[in-house]
C-alpha cells in the first residue's frame, strides 16, 4: 500500500482505480493501531469511518462524489460531531455525546471527507505542550521524549505520523501553529471569523479560530475553502465571499516582507531558532523579494494582554459546566452549592481551574478596569500597529516558536514559563489576522523549526500561495 | 500582593470551585506571579484609547425570525447525570 501523505496522492490512486476509500481508511486504521503509543487519538470512529468510506466508494462509482472524496480527517476533541463523544480532553465532559455536528465538520462531510476519530489536546485547549490532557500527554513522533506542542498536539502528531490525511483543530493563541511547528507539518490559522465557530467548544470567543494541519499547502487550501463561509448559526462569522484558494496557489511578483526585530532581539529565543530564521531571510532575499526589518513596539505586551483576555473569557465560557445538565457530577454532593463546587473541582484539571480563577479575578468589580478594560485597550493598540505594518508590507514573518519541541516535563512546574511558548503566536491572535506555520528545517536534535507568515485580514489566498512557493522554492518574480 | 488567603477563597467561591487548604498557597503564589507579570501593561499609555470589544467585521446580522429545529425533550435530557422522565434532578435547595 502506498503511504498516502496528501490528498493529491489519494485522488490519483482513486482515479486509477488501484485503491478504494475503504482501503485508504483501513490503511490509516492500521497506522493508528501501530502508533497507538503516541496517544494522538482519544477515540477512533472505526465502524463509522468504514461505513462512511463505503458510501463514498459507491458515490465514486456513480460519479457523484464530493470534492474531498478519499480524504480522511481527524478532529480535535473540541469539535462536535453528532452522536459522537466530545470532551475537550476533560473529565468534566465524561460520557458526553454531541447532539449536533459543528458547521466546519458538517461542511467537510458534505464534500465526502471521512471523519476517522477525535484527537487528544490540552484540556479545553489550555496549554502549549499537550501535557494538560486528562488522558495523558501526546508524544512527538520524531522523538518520543519530547512534546508535540499544544494545545492541538494530537492533531499535529496525527498528520506527522501519517495517521490520517489531515486534521482540524482550534487556535486561540497559537494552538494550531505552535504544535504544527514542533511536529514539522503545516498549520494554518485563518482570519478570525473566517470559519463558523458553531459546534466548537468555546474557550475564548474573541480569539477562537478553527484551523488546519496538513502535509502540503494544497490540502490546507482545499479544507479551508470547504469549511469557511456564512453560517446561520454563528452571527459573528464573516459573510465575505470565500475564494477558491486551491485554484490559485502561485504567488507572482515581488513581495514586500517585514520581519519583526523585537522577535530576534528579545529574550527567550533559542540561538538555533534565530539562526534558522536569519537563513530564511536570506532565502527570501536571494529569491528577489524586498525584505526589511520592521518594529512592532507593542510586541512584548501581546502575551500579557492575551492572558488577561482569554482567562476572562474562559471563566465566563466554562461556567456552563455545572454538573446539572450534562457531564460529570460529583458523587459527594449534599446541596446545590457543593454540587457545583465539587463537580467542577473534581472535573476540571489544574490549569483550567487556575485560568478560571484568574479570569474571575480580572473581571471582579475592583480590578475590572485595571486589568480587563486595560487589556482591551492595549489590544486595540496592538491591532492598530499590526494593521499599520500590513498596510505597508504584504507579509510579516517571524519564527513560529522561540524554541523547538522541548522535553516532556521540562516546563510544567511553572505556569508562566509554559505561557512563553506562545510568545510569537499570540500577536496574530490578538490582532485577528491570518497566520501560517510552515516546516523550515531541523535543529541539531533533529527537531523541526517552523516559519510563521502573517498577512492582512482575509488574505488567506495570498498567504497560501506565498507559502506554497516558499516550500517548493519556485518563484515567479 | 494582590491575592491573599481571603481573596483566593472568595475567588474560588465566585468560580464555584473548591480549593483544598493544602493547595491554597500554591494557587496564591501562581496567581500573584501571573498578575505581577501582566501588570507590565501599565507601561502602555492608553489615554483616550477605546477598548476593543468586537473582533468580527460583521455588524447587525439580521435574519427572519422563524421556528427552526430544536432539541426534543428526550434528547435534551440525554446527557444529564441525573434526571427523571421530565426534568434534570438536583439536590433540594428550597426550604432546606
pLDDT of residue B96: 58
Q: What is the pLDDT of residues B5-47, one digit of tens each?
A: 999 999 999 999 999 999 999 999 999 999 999 999 999 999 9
pLDDT of residue B63: 82
Domains recognised in chain A with CATH numbers: 1-477 (3.90.1300.10)
Spatial contact of A139 and A157, defined as CB atoms under 8 Å apart: yes
pTM of the model: 0.97
Cβ pair A304:B55 closer than 8 A: no
Confidence at B1, pLDDT banded by 50, 70, 90: low
Helix (H, G, I), strand (E, B) or coil at A283: helix
Q: What is the pLDDT of residues A208-222, one digit of tens each?
A: 999 999 999 999 999
Give the residues across from A167 on adjacent strands. A74, A213
Residue range A61-87: average pLDDT? 98
Say if residue B57's pLDDT is above 80.
yes
Q: What is the pLDDT of residues A102-161, one digit of tens each?
A: 999 999 999 999 999 999 999 999 999 999 999 999 999 999 999 999 999 999 999 999
Give the gyration radius of chain B's Cα atoms: 23
What contacts B56, CB < 8 A, 6 or more positions away? A192, A193, A236, A237, A238
Spatial contact of A463 and A453, defined as CB atoms under 8 Å apart: yes
Tell me the pLDDT of chain A averaged across its residues: 96
Say if residue A225's pLDDT is above 90.
yes
**Nearest to A120, CA basis, from A150, A96, A144:** A150
Confidence at A57, pLDDT banded by 50, 70, 90: very high
pLDDT of residue A1: 61
**What is the distance in angstroms between the Cα of B23 and the nearest Cα belonging to chain A?**
10
**Buried b / exposed e across A128-140, counting CB within 10 Å, b at 16+?**
bbbbbbbbebbbb
ipTM: 0.95
Question: Of A16-20, A196-200, B53-57, B92-96, where does the model show the most confidence?
Answer: A196-200
Q: What is the pLDDT of residues A249-282, one digit of tens each?
A: 999 999 999 999 999 887 789 999 999 999 999 9
Q: What is the pLDDT of residues A353-412, one digit of tens each?
A: 999 999 999 999 999 999 999 999 999 999 999 999 999 999 999 999 999 999 999 998
Cβ pair A193:B55 closer than 8 A: yes
Q: What is the pLDDT of residues A127-142, one digit of tens each?
A: 999 999 999 999 999 9
Cβ pair A238:B40 closer than 8 A: no
**What is the distance in angstroms between the Cα of B8 and the nearest Cα belonging to chain A?**
8
Q: Nearest by CB to A99, which of B39, B54, B71?
A: B71
Chain B positions in Cβ-Cβ contact with residue A319 (cut-off 8 Å)? 16
pLDDT of residue A8: 96
Around B81, how many Cα atoms within 13 Å sit in the side-chain half-sphere?
20
Chain A positions in Cβ-Cβ contact with residue B29 (cut-off 8 Å)? none
Confidence at B64, pLDDT banded by 50, 70, 90: confident
**What is the distance in angstroms between the Cα of B78 and the nearest Cα belonging to chain A?**
8
Percent of chain A with pLDDT over 90: 95
| A175 is a catalytic site residue | yes
The C-alpha cell 529574550 sits at A267
pLDDT of residue A450: 98
Around A126, how many Cα atoms within 13 Å sit in the side-chain half-sphere?
27
Residue range A433-442: average pLDDT? 98
Say if residue A196's pLDDT is above 70.
yes
| A295 is a catalytic site residue | no
| A35 is a catalytic site residue | no
Dihedral pair phi/psi, residue A241, rounded to 5°: -60, 145
Interface test with A, best of B4, B21, B57 (most A CBs within 10 A): B57
Q: Interior CA angle at A97 toward A96 and A102, to 5°? A: 120
pLDDT of residue B93: 81
pLDDT of residue A28: 98
Amino acid at each position: 500500500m502506498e503511504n498516502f501523505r496528501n490528498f493529491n496522492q489519494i485522488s490519483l490512486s482513486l482515479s486509477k482505480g488501484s485503491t478504494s476509500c475503504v482501503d485508504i481508511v483501513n490503511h490509516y486504521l492500521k497506522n493508528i493501531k501501530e502508533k497507538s503509543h503516541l496517544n494522538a487519538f482519544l477515540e477512533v470512529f472505526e465502524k463509522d469511518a468504514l461505513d462512511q468510506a463505503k458510501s463514498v466508494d459507491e458515490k465514486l462509482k456513480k460519479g457523484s462524489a464530493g470534492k474531498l472524496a478519499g480524504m480522511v480527517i481527524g478532529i480535535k476533541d473540541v469539535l462536535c460531531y453528532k452522536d459522537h463523544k466530545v470532551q475537550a480532553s476533560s473529565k468534566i465532559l465524561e460520557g458526553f455525546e454531541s447532539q449536533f455536528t459543528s458547521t466546519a465538520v458538517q461542511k467537510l462531510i458534505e464534500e465526502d471527507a471521512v471523519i476517522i476519530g477525535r484527537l487528544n489536546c490540552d484540556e479545553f485547549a489550555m496549554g502549549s505542550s499537550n501535557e494538560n490532557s486528562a488522558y495523558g500527554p501526546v508524544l512527538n513522533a520524531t522523538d518520543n521524549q519530547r512534546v508535540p506542542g499544544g494545545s492541538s498536539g494530537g492533531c499535529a502528531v496525527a498528520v506527522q505520523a501519517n495517521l490520517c490525511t489531515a486534521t482540524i483543530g482550534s487556535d486561540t493563541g497559537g494552538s494550531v501553529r505552535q504544535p504544527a511547528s514542533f511536529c514539522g507539518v503545516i498549520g494554518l490559522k485563518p482570519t478570525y471569523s473566517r470559519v463558523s465557530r458553531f459546534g466548537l467548544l468555546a474557550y475564548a470567543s474573541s480569539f477562537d479560530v478553527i484551523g488546519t494541519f496538513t502535509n502540503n499547502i494544497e490540502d490546507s487550501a482545499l479544507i479551508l475553502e470547504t469549511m469557511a463561509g456564512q453560517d446561520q448559526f454563528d452571527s459573528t462569522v464573516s459573510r465575505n465571499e470565500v475564494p477558491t484558494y486551491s485554484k490559485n496557489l502561485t504567488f507572482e511578483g515581488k513581495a514586500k516582507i517585514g520581519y519583526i526585530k523585537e522577535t530576534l532581539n528579545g529574550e527567550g529565543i533559542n540561538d538555533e531558532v534565530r539562526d534558522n530564521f536569519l537563513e530564511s531571510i536570506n532565502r527570501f532575499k536571494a529569491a528577489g523579494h524586498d525584505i526589511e526589518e520592521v518594529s512592532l513596539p507593542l510586541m512584548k505586551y501581546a502575551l500579557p494582554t492575551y492572558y488577561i483576555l482569554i482567562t476572562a473569557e474562559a471563566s465566563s465560557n466554562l461556567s456552563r459546566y455545572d454538573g446539572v445538565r450534562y457531564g460529570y457530577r460529583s458523587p459527594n454532593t449534599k446541596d446545590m452549592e457543593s454540587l457545583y463546587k465539587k463537580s467542577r473541582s473534581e472535573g476540571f484539571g489544574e490549569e483550567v481551574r487556575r485560568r478560571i480563577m484568574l479570569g474571575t479575578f480580572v473581571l471582579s468589580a475592583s480590578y475590572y478596569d485595571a486589568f480587563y478594560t486595560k487589556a482591551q485597550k492595549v489590544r486595540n493598540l496592538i491591532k492598530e500597529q499590526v494593521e499599520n505594518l500590513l498596510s505597508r508590507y504584504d507579509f510579516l514573518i517571524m519564527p513560529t516558536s522561540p524554541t523547538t519541541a522541548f522535553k516532556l516535563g521540562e516546563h510544567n512546574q511553572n505556569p508562566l514559563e509554559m505561557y512563553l511558548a506562545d510568545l510569537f503566536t499570540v500577536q496574530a491572535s490578538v490582532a485577528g489576522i491570518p497566520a501560517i506555520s510552515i516546516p523550515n528545517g531541523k535543529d541539531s536534535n533533529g527537531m523541526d523549526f517552523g516559519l510563521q507568515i502573517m498577512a492582512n485580514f482575509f488574505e488567506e489566498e495570498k498567504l497560501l500561495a506565498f507559502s506554497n512557493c516558499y516550500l517548493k522554492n519556485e518563484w515567479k518574480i | 500582593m494582590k491575592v491573599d488567603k481571603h481573596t483566593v477563597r472568595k475567588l474560588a467561591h465566585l468560580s464555584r470551585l473548591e480549593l483544598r487548604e493544602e493547595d491554597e498557597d500554591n494557587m496564591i503564589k501562581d496567581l500573584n506571579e501571573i498578575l505581577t507579570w501582566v501588570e507590565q501593561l501599565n507601561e502602555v499609555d492608553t489615554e483616550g484609547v477605546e477598548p476593543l470589544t468586537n473582533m468580527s467585521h460583521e455588524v447587525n446580522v439580521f435574519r427572519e425570525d422563524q421556528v427552526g429545529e430544536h432539541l426534543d425533550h428526550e434528547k435534551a435530557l440525554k446527557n444529564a447525570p441525573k434526571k427523571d422522565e421530565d426534568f434534570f434532578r438536583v439536590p433540594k435547595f428550597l426550604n432546606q
